[in-house]
Each structure stands twice: as C-alpha cells, then as structure tokens.
Copies of this chain bind each other. A is one copy, B any other.
Amino acid sequence: MRIQAWMPAWLRHYQRDWLSGDVLAGLIVTVMLIPQSLAYAMLAGLPPEVGLYASILPLIAYALLGSSMTLAVGPVAVASLMTASSLAPLAAQGTPEYLAMAILLALLSGLMLIGAGLLRLGFLAWFLSHPVISGFISGSAVLIAIGQVKYLLGITFSSAGVLSTLAGLIKHLPETNVVTSGIGITALVFLFFARSHLALLLRRIGVPAKVAEMVSKLAPITAVILSTAVVASLDLAETAQVSIVGNVPAGLPVLAMSLPSWDALHALWVPAMLISLVGFVESVSVAQSLAMKRAQRIQPDRELLGIGAANIASALSGGFPVTGGFARSVVNFSAGANTPVASVISALMMGVVLIGLTSWFHYLPHTVLSATIIVAVLGLIDMQTLKDAWHYDKADATALLLTFFGVIVFGVEEGIVIGVALSLAVLVWRSSHPHMAVVGRVPGTEHFRNIERHQVETLPGLIALRIDESLYFANAQVLEEKIESLLQQQPGTRDLLLILSAVNQLDTTALVMLTELERDLAERHIRLHFAEIKGPVLDRLRNTPLGEQMKDRIYLSTHQAFLACSAG
C-alpha cells in the first residue's frame, strides 16, 4: 500500500492494452538510440560506452519522476556539443580527468535542475523566446556539422573555434582518407535519402504511412550494421587506416561517485548551469507540444525533477549530461508510446546491448557516426521560424539571427548567454513601455474612451489617464515622465485622474512614485485622483500614507470622478 502511493500514476493505473504500443515504441527508440548514443558520446569527446551508460538509468529515473508520457531522454546533440566545448579548456579528451569532469557536469546539472524544481523555478524556462531558441539550435547544428566533417573525411587536426576548423579543413583536405570518406559519404547520402524520400517511396509501393515512417527510422542502425560488416570483412582498419570505434568494454555500468575537487566545481558550475537551461528548455518544449496533441499536461516543475534525476542517474552510472531529445521523442510518440514503460523497455534493451553486444561495435567506423550526427543535426536547422519571424516581427528575426551568428562566431556557451541577454533585453523593453491612453467621455454615456481614437468630451483643467498595465518598478518612472509631459502640454491642469482599471499589481516602487507624485502635484496646486482601483490593490493601498492622504479622491468609476472634478 505504502509503495503504491509512491508509484507514479501511470504505473498505478497501468492498463494491459497500453502495452503493445509501449513495447513497439520502446524497441524502435532503442534502434535509434544505439547509433545516437555512440555518436553523441563521440561528439562530446567521450568513449563510446559512456554514451551507452547514459542511455540506461537516466531513462528509468525520468520515467519515475518526469511528467511527460512520451519524452525520450538520453544523450542529445546540443548538450553533447556543450559538454565538449566546456571541457575543452579544462582537460584533454581521452584522459581520466576529462571523463571525470563530464560525469561531474552531469551531476552538477542534475543537482541544479532538482534544486530549481524544488524552488519551483520552472517558469524561468519561458524566458528564452522561441526565435532565440531557434537561432541557438540552428547555430549549434551548423557548429556541430562543421566539426564532424574531419571525421567524415578521415583527416586529423586539432582546432578551436569555427574559423580555425574551416582553415584546418582546407589545409588538410589533401590528406583525406579515400576509403574512410567513401564509406562516410555513402552513409551520409543513404541517411539523407532515407530521411527525405524513403518513407514517401515506401508509401508509394503500398506500405502503410505509419510503418513507412518507422522503417525510415531504421536507416541509421542499418548504416551502422552494413558499414561495420564491410569494415570488418575487408579489414579496412588495418589495410586502409579507417578509424574505428575499437574495443567497447562489455557489462553494465558500476554505480560510483567520487567527491569532486573545489577547482573542478568552480570551473564547471557555469557550464553546468547553461547546459541545464538549454537541456530543460529543449526538453520541456518537446514534452509540451507532444502532450498538447493528446490532451495531456506537463508540469514544468516536475519536469525539472525528472530531467534532474536523469542527470544524477547518468552521473552515478558513469554517463554525461542527458535531456529529452526532439527526434527520439517524436518517434516514441508516433510509434504509439502510451506511458514511460516505453522508455523502461528502451533502457532494458540498452542494458542487453551493453552486456552482450558491445563487441559488435568494434569495427564500426567513426565516419559513419559522423554521418549520423550530421544528418541528425542538419534536421535541427530551422529556416521556417526565421522566415515567419521576418514577415511578422523584424525584432524577433533580428534576435534569432544575432543568436545564430553568436553561437557560430563566439561558441555555443557564449551563444546561449547572448540569447538569454537578448530575451531579457526584449522583456525589459516591452515591460518599460506600458500602454496608456488619455480618455474622455463618449457624449451622452458613462463610457470613457481614448481621445485620439474617438469623439469624446473632456473637462477643462482635467487630464484623465487610463493605464493599461500593472504598475511596478519597470514602468513606474515611465508613467511619471508621461504625466509630466502631459502637464507641460496642458499648463492649466488642476486635476489629474489616473484610471487604474487594468492595474492588477502595484509594487513598492510604484507606491513610492505615486506618493511623491501626489506631494509634488499638491505643491503645484494640482489634485491627484484615482478611479476604478481593483479590490485587492485598494485593500493594500488604504493602509499606506498615500491611501490616507487620498481617501476622499478615490472613486469607484471614472464617471463619478468626472462628476466630482467638474463640481469641485
């Protein structure tokens, strides 16, 4: 009974007819997850088994704590890129320190996400605007794709930054390994074809649309199997120096955690925060858009706990930062996943792979993993949002482009900082421009409308200003300026009426401003009046010195205020 209460709702009320969908989805996601987990470990600069480790326990942790029924958690491209880029200045790839820091990054990120979840900070995720996220993801995708070209062609050089990578590619192009690049480019073409045309082709020859869609998702694993078979049978690693994955240790990960050093914590907390932010925003957007299609709900604060627990589970089992992936979650959803049981099945299958099948990956060529990465990330490049934003709102389009080029020119971490700064700047800008209208009376009625849009009556010596937003520190000073400018335009003003019908909140800064305004106006022989204050705002205002001072000049309706001002 007690255990039941701790079980998630989907498990307590599990229905047998959900199982077939969950099993099918779990199997198809596993088939996608095998090449992706190997490829994203490579992208993060980590040994292949780390990608597999990150694809077992994190899935189960999210299943138990997350709120989405269909999110597929595991290694993803952007978080892997961010891992590599934040570890690059701290340790060399292939060293035990590098691996330890990747694990620590997952741990820190998990702790931060859980902390944010307990503090109910999920709302912070809404503060990256859609265009900024789109620009960030597209920029990261370009960065990742450029970074993979050298592996695709079998050339080796080290580089930092996109310009040095491009220069290196041009310089070392003559060193291209013909066999490696032959395999890689063949895989690339095959995967592109599979992604864009295979489903269509299958449907044309009579395969049902859904099955055709699923079969096209098998392309990456097919490329992996075929290329491994070719490399192994022709011994291309020896005879043609094709770079292969090599020995992948078999066996489940061992749960372990060593105490991190202060230096490492100090170096990694900012990257961990950025990875958490990006991972959470990406994950919760996918989860929410899938939930909406099935009339389900996502709880952002539970998502923080779920993704956070997944990262801690990853760290405990020797993995690196994980989050909900876009492509895999969509496949999981359309393959018919009903509950996180699908993810649990994926996790079990990945465990089977780790126990028994790692030797199969020995001859897997790196170039095919690069082809998988390139095809996956080029699918993330989003031109549509740019086009739409360009038509609809040039400011949003500009923010998108600045973030996009920020990522490519300055790097992925700097790019997300630019994106956050742009989003906040836009927020600050919008908040500091509240809508306000000087109103007058529609003749013969008790209605008051904007004097610039309607034929209305005004009273000499009275300015009636309607404020269409809550008053707080971000716009209090703007209101003060607006009032002073109105008073200068109408020097004979004796009464100033503020209509507060849209003011849901009035913070301390606004209260201080209004208190000073009332006093300064009184010295200039101008009376301040309030009308249509909302109940909760009035309750708090009454107990302040301003409320005391103004108690005879607060009116229920604008009409009553007009009557009082024309009488007095």
| A interface residues (Cβ-Cβ under 8 A, vs B) | 123-131, 288-289, 291-293, 295, 297-298, 385, 388-389, 391-393, 396-397, 423-424, 426-433, 435, 468-470, 472-478, 480-481, 484-485, 487-488, 502, 504-505, 507-509, 511-513, 516-517, 520, 523-524, 540, 543-544
Task: A129-B508, A292-B484, A502-B502 are known; give 12 further A-B pairs, CB within 8 A.
Answer: A123-B429, A126-B476, A128-B473, A130-B512, A292-B516, A293-B523, A388-B508, A388-B512, A392-B511, A393-B507, A424-B428, A430-B505
Would A127 and B389 count as touching, CB distance under 8 A? no
Partner among B297, B428, B509, B511 whose Cβ is within 8 Å of the Cβ of A124: B428
Find out whether the CB atom of B392 lies under 8 angstroms from the CB atom of A480. no
Say yes or no: A432 contacts B392, CB within 8 Å.
no
**Distance from A75 Cβ to chain B, minimum over Cβ atoms (Å):** 26
Instruction: Give the complex CA separation of A392 and B536 in angstroms.
Output: 12
Complex Cα distance A392/B537, Å? 11
Query: Which B residues are in CB contact (< 8 Å) with A508?
Result: 129-131, 385, 388-389, 392-393, 396-397
> Across the interface, do A478 and B385 meet the contact criterion of CB distance under 8 Å?
no
Alpha-carbon separation in the docked complex, A126 to B485 (Å): 18
What's the number of copies of this chain in the assembled complex?
A: 2
A540: B residues at CB distance < 8 A: 392-393
| Cα separation A393 to B508 with both chains bound (whole Å) | 7
Task: Give the docked Cα–Cα distance between A459 and B433 (Å).
Answer: 37
In the bound complex, residues from chain B placing their C-beta under 8 Å from that of A520 are 292-293
Among candidates B473, B524, B544, residue contacting A388 with C-beta atoms closer than 8 Å: B544
| B297 A544 Cβ-Cβ under 8 A | no
Which residue in chain B gives the minimum CB-CB distance to A511?
B392
Q: Looking across the interface, which residue of chain B has its beta carbon closest to that of A127? A: B428
Top 5 A-B pairs, shortest CB-CB distance = A129-B473, A130-B509, A396-B508, A123-B432, A389-B508
Q: In the docked arrangement, what's the CA distance between A429 and B472, Å?
A: 12
Inter-subunit contact A123/B428 (CB<8 Å): yes
Question: A504 near B468 (CB under 8 angstroms)?
Answer: yes
Q: How far is the CA of A523 from the CA of B472 in the complex (A)?
A: 41
Once bound together, how far apart are the Cα atoms of A186 and B370, in whole Å?
A: 78
The contact of A126 among B129, B131, B473, by CB within 8 Å, is B473
Residues of B within 8 Å of A298, CB to CB, are 481
- From residue A70, how far is it (CB to closest CB) to chain B in Å? 14
Q: Given the complex of chains A and B, what is the CA–CA distance between A130 and B512 in angstroms?
A: 8
5 A–B contacts, CB within 8 A, in A order: A124-B428, A291-B484, A388-B512, A391-B543, A427-B427
Interchain CA distance A469-B430 in the complex, whole Å: 12
Residues of B within 8 A of A502 (CB): 468, 502
In the bound complex, do residue B297 and residue A126 qualify as a contact, i.e. CB atoms below 8 Å apart? no
A423 CA to B424 CA, complexed, in Å: 12
Residue in A428, A473, A475 with the greatest tally of chain B CB atoms within 10 Å:
A473
Q: Given A388-B508, A391-B544, A509-B131: A297 and B488 within 8 A (CB)?
A: yes
Q: Are B435 and A427 interface neighbours, CB within 8 A?
A: no
Closest-CB distance, A148 to chain B (whole angstroms): 29
In the assembled complex, which residues on chain B have CB atoms less than 8 Å from the CB atom of A544? 388, 391-392
**Chain B residue nearest in CB terms to A425:** B124
Give the distance in Å from the alpha carbon of A45 to the alpha carbon of B68 in the complex. Answer: 58
